[in-house]
């Protein structure tokens, strides 16, 4: 992007800055989840799973598109959805690191999707009732899709956790791998705080307790243990500092726009 809007300062200068940053958090989470899920296409464990993962990926890309469209409207200078989605540098993406983690095996993908979609479910449940009509409308539409993502992935946690010894072991290992990254969702970014003060974003502490309650119950039912929490300092959604995986994801996703800038496709 030739001109960028500074949304990465620890204290956004204005409410608009905060709102833009906040919308990027929502949009980028959806985009990066969708992008990763696209990698499963054609190679899922069975055709029905292929179909479901395509469907969920498409939901995420649609949600990202809706958030970017709103961003385009309120952005301080002219831009478009694809400039926002494809033409930023790595440190200008504000997704949580959980979403950018590699898919790993099917268990790891499910672990990542389940932990994310349970968070996303409570987040969107709050946002669909918020006073910003536009945010509420997009969240309400997304909420219906996210209900399905939460149900689909929770069912797989149960099947894999309580299926065979192998699947149990793989599911447990997968949870251990992605676990720490989930906590980034609950560490408020400056934009989260400001939007919360304006009554738009929910209190993340509350979302965290709902999430913990549901995840603990789910894992218990699936005969899985709650992983030990390690590093919880990931803050990509605040400062754009990502994991080592993000650069590769963007190199692939941005290839066409980088190689052939300013063209219509």
Q: Please give the residue ranges that form the binding site for another protein (CB under 8 A).
A: 31, 35, 38-39, 41-51, 54-55, 57-58, 61-62, 64-65, 68, 81-82, 85-86, 105-106, 158-160, 162-164, 166-167, 170, 252-253, 255-257, 260, 263-265
Q: What are the distances in angstroms from CA 154 to CA 151, 171, 183, 218?
A: 5, 12, 18, 7
- Min separation Cβ 164 and another protein, Å: 5
Rank residues 167 and 243 by Cβ distance to another protein and give the closer one: 167
DSSP one-letter code for 41? T
Q: Can you tell me the distance from the alpha carbon of 22 to that of 197, in angstroms, rounded to the nearest whole number?
A: 13
Q: Can you tell me the distance from the alpha carbon of 66 to that of 9, in angstroms, rounded to the nearest whole number?
A: 25
3-state SS, residue 101: coil
For 113, half-sphere exposure in the C-beta direction (CA atoms, 13 angstrom radius) is 33
- Min separation Cβ 82 and another protein, Å: 5
Rank residues 41 and 197 by Cβ distance to another protein and give the closer one: 41
From 100, 113, 108, select the one nearest 251 (Cα to Cα).
100
- Min separation Cβ 154 and another protein, Å: 13
CB of 194 closer than 8 Å to CB of 12: yes
CB of 53 closer than 8 Å to CB of 41: yes
Burial class of residue 147, CB neighbours in 10 A (0-12, 13-18, 19+): middle
Rank residues 16 and 44 by Cβ distance to another protein and give the closer one: 44
Rank residues 158 and 187 by Cβ distance to another protein and give the closer one: 158
- Min separation Cβ 171 and another protein, Å: 8
- Min separation Cβ 261 and another protein, Å: 11
- Min separation Cβ 156 and another protein, Å: 9
Q: Can you tell me the distance from the alpha carbon of 160 to that of 145, in angstroms, rounded to the nearest whole number?
A: 23
Rank residues 203 and 252 by Cβ distance to another protein and give the closer one: 252
Rank residues 82 and 239 by Cβ distance to another protein and give the closer one: 82
Rank residues 80 and 205 by Cβ distance to another protein and give the closer one: 80
- Min separation Cβ 51 and another protein, Å: 4
3-state SS, residue 100: helix
């Amino acid at each position: 992007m030739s001109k960028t809007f500074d949304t990465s300062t620890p204290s956004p200068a204005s409410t608009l800055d905060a709102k833009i940053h906040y919308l990027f958090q929502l949009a980028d989470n959806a985009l990066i989840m969708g992008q990763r899920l696209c990698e499963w296409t054609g190679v899922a464990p069975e055709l029905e799973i292929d179909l479901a993962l395509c469907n969920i990926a498409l939901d995420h890309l649609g949600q990202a598109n809706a958030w970017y469209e709103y961003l385009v409207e309120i952005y301080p200078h002219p831009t478009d959805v694809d400039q926002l989605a494809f033409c930023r540098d790595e440190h200008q993406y504000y997704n949580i690191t959980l979403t950018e983690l590699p898919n790993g095996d099917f268990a790891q993908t499910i672990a990542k999707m389940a932990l994310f979609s349970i968070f996303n479910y409570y987040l969107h449940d709050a946002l669909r009732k918020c006073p910003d009509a536009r945010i509420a409308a997009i969240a309400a539409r997304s909420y219906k899709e996210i209900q399905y993502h939460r149900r689909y992935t929770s069912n797989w946690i149960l099947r894999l956790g309580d299926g065979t010894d192998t699947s149990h072991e793989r599911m447990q290992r997968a949870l251990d791998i992605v676990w720490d990254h989930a906590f980034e969702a609950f560490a408020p970014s400056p934009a989260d705080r400001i939007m919360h003060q304006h009554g738009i974003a929910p209190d993340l502490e509350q979302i965290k307790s709902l999430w913990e309650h549901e995840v603990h119950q789910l894992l218990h039912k699936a005969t899985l243990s709650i992983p030990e929490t390690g590093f919880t300092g990931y803050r990509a959604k605040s400062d754009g500092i990502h994991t080592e995986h993000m650069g590769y994801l963007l190199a692939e996703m941005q290839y066409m726009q980088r190689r052939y800038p300013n063209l219509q496709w």
